[in-house]
Amino acid sequence: MSVTAAQGFRAAGVAAGIKQSGARDLALVVNDGPDHHAAAVFTSNRVEAAPVTWSRQAATDGRIDAVVLNSGGANACTGAQGFQDTHATAEAVATVLDLSAGDVAVCSTGLIGELLPMEALLSGVTSAADALGPEGGSDAAEAIMTTDTVSKQSVVRRDGWTVGGMAKGAGMLAPALATMLVVVTTDAVVDPGELDGVLRAATAVTFDRIDSDGCQSTNDTVLLLASGASGVRADRDGLTTAVTQVCAELARALIADAEGAKHDIAIEVRTAADEGDALEVARSIARNNLFKCAVFGNDPNWGRVLSAVGTTSAVFEPSQLDVAINGVEVCRAGGVGEDRSRVDLTGREVRVTVDLHAGDAAVTVWTNDLTHDYVHENSAYSS
Annotated binding residues for substrate, written as ranges, equal: 146, 168, 179, 259, 378, 383
User: Contact between 114 and its own copies (CB under 8 A)?
Assistant: yes
Asked if 70 contacts 25 with a C-beta cutoff of 8 angstroms, the reply is: yes
Output the CA–CA distances (angstroms, integers) from residue 25 to 96, 125, 148, 210, 367, in the order listed: 19, 11, 13, 25, 27
Instruction: Decide if residue 296 touches its own copies (CB under 8 A).
Output: yes
Give one DSSP letter per residue of 8-69, joined into a string: TEEEEEE--S-STT----EEEEEE--S--EEEEEE---SS--HHHHHHHHHTTTSB--EEEE
Q: Is residue 84 involved in binding its own copies (CB under 8 A)?
A: no
In sequence order, the 6+-apart residues with CB closer than 8 A to the CB of 15 are 22, 23, 24, 25, 26, 124, 143
Q: What minimum distance in Å lies between the beta carbon of 377 and its own copies?
A: 8
Between 252 and 340, name the residue whose CB sits nearer to its own copies.
Answer: 340
Which parts of 92-111 interact with its own copies (CB under 8 A)?
111
Q: Tell me if 214 contacts its own copies by CB under 8 A.
A: yes
208 is a contact residue toward its own copies (CB under 8 A): no
Given the rule CB under 8 A, which of 74-82, 141-149, 184-192, 203-211 is the region that contacts its own copies? 74-82
161-180: contacts with its own copies (CB under 8 A): 175-177
Q: Which of residues 353-382 bind its own copies (CB under 8 A)?
A: 370-372, 374-376, 378-382
Query: Does residue 37 contact residue 223 with C-beta atoms inside 8 Å?
Result: no
What does the alpha-carbon distance between residue 247 and residue 360 come to, in Å, rounded to a whole number? 25
Query: Shortest gap between Cβ of 172 and its own copies (angstroms)?
Result: 8
Kindly list the catalytic residues: 179
> In the complex, which residues of this chain contact its own copies (CB under 8 A)?
44-48, 74, 76-79, 81-82, 111-115, 175-177, 213-218, 287-290, 293-294, 296-299, 301-304, 306-312, 318-319, 321, 330-331, 333-336, 340, 370-372, 374-376, 378-383
